[in-house]
Amino acid sequence: SQQGEEDPQALSIQEGENATMNCSYKTSINNLQWYRQNSGRGLVHLILIRSNEREKHSGRLRVTLDTSKKSSSLLITASRAADTASYFCATDGDEGNTGKLIFGQGTTLQVKP
């Protein structure tokens, strides 16, 4: 079963605008990761935030984590057409402690030039 649920499912913005995607999950986690997938390609790791962190930045990316609400958000600032892709959150909320990642359904982002 899928642990993470992204919201919205699809997002369309103009180049230069900010894009915010949200992820909710169900069980306790060690960390939460965000991945990007361009059409027809494999996934690319963007950022990992640990359960004891609240916010993390990487270039134009800002990730927040609220473990009390079991939710995370990914903000892409000053978006570019090249940011057009699907974005997935993944959690390791795995009782077997194998580190298995459970991915959400993803948010499809379209950035119009």
Please count the residues of this chain forming the interface with another protein, following the rule CB under 8 A: 26
Cβ atoms of 93 and 25 closer than 8 Å = yes
Any contact of residue 59 with another protein (CB under 8 A)?
A: no
Any contact of residue 71 with another protein (CB under 8 A)?
A: no
Residue 22: CB minimum distance to another protein, A: 15
Cα–Cα nearest to 82, from 7, 10, 16, 8: 16
- Per residue in 83-93, is it b (16+ CB within 10 Å) or e — as a string? bbbbbbbbbbb
Report the DSSP beta bridge partners of residue 4.
Answer: none
Residues with Cβ within 8 Å of 82's Cβ and at least 6 positions away in sequence, in order, are 111
Any contact of residue 103 with another protein (CB under 8 A)?
A: yes
Of the candidates 13, 43, 61, 75, which one interacts with another protein according to CB under 8 A? 43
Any contact of residue 101 with another protein (CB under 8 A)?
A: yes
Any contact of residue 81 with another protein (CB under 8 A)?
A: no
Any contact of residue 51 with another protein (CB under 8 A)?
A: no
